[in-house]
Copies of this chain bind each other. A is one copy, B any other.
Amino acid sequence: MCNSLGKIFNVTSFGESHGRCVGIVITGCPAGLPVSEKDIQTELDKRKPGKNIASTRRAEEDKVDILSGIFKGHTTGAPICLVIWNQDVDSTSYEKTRALLRPGHADFTSFVKYGGFNDYRGGGRSSGRITAGFVMAGVIARKLLDTIGIEILAHTVEISGIRATAAGLAAIRKIDDNPLKCADTSATEKMLKALEKVRKEGDSLGGIVEGLALNVPAGLGGPVFDTLEGDLAKALFAIPAVKGVEFGAGFAVSKMKGSENNDPFIIKRGKIITETNNSGGILGGISNGMPMVVRVAIKPTPSISRKQQTVNIETMKEESLEVKGRHDVCIVPRAVPVVSAMIAVTLCDYALAAKLIPEVLK
| Chain B residues positioned under 8 Å from A303 (CB to CB) | 258
Which residues from 204 to 235 on chain A have a C-beta closer than 8 Å to any C-beta of chain B? 204-208, 218-227, 229-231, 233-235
B32, B112, B354: the one contacting A219 at CB < 8 Å is B112
With beta carbons under 8 angstroms apart, the residue of B130, B248, B316 that contacts A267 is B316
Contacts of A7 in B (CB 8 A): 1, 7
CA distance A280 to B226 in the complex (A): 25
Instruction: Give the shortest distance, in Å, between A350 (CB) and chain B (any CB).
Output: 10
Contact of A104 among B198, B275, B283 (CB under 8 A): B283
Beta-carbon contacts of A281-306 to B below 8 Å, as 1s and 0s?
Answer: 01111111100000001111111101
Chain B minimum-CB-distance residue to A275: B309
- Kindly identify, within residues 67 to 126 of chain A, every residue whose CB is under 8 Å from any CB belonging to chain B: 67-69, 71-72, 74-81, 83, 101, 103-106, 108-110, 112-115, 117-119, 124-126
Q: Which residue of B lies closest to A263 (CB)?
A: B103
Q: Evaluate whether A279 and B230 lie within 8 angstroms (CB atoms) in the complex, with A5-B225, A117-B76, A265-B309 already known.
A: no
Chain B min CB distance to A358 (Å):
7
Asked if A183 CB lies within 8 Å of chain B CBs, one says no
A51 adjacent to chain B (CB < 8 Å) = no
Distance A362 CA – B79 CA, assembled complex (angstroms)? 35
Given contacts A247-B244, A262-B304, A263-B103, contact A20 B159 (CB under 8 A): no
Q: Find the residue from A81, A235, A254, A260 having the highest chain B CB count within 10 A.
A: A254
Within 8 Å by CB of A106, from B19, B275, B286, lies B286
Report chain B residues within 8 Å CB of A249. 243, 299
Q: Which among B81, B230, B235, B266 is the interface contact of A309 at CB below 8 angstroms?
A: B266
The stretch from A10-18, A36-44, A145-153, A169-177 touching chain B is A10-18
Is A246 part of the contact surface with B, judged by Cβ < 8 Å? yes
**A158–B317 Cα gap in the complex (Å)?**
40
Q: What CA separation (Å) do A283 and B111 show in the bound complex? A: 12
Does A200 make an interface contact (CB < 8 A)?
Answer: no
What are 19 A-B contacts defined by CB distance under 8 Å?
A: A2-B221, A4-B27, A12-B12, A13-B79, A14-B25, A14-B79, A15-B79, A104-B283, A203-B257, A208-B251, A231-B234, A243-B253, A244-B245, A244-B247, A246-B246, A253-B297, A262-B308, A267-B316, A272-B313
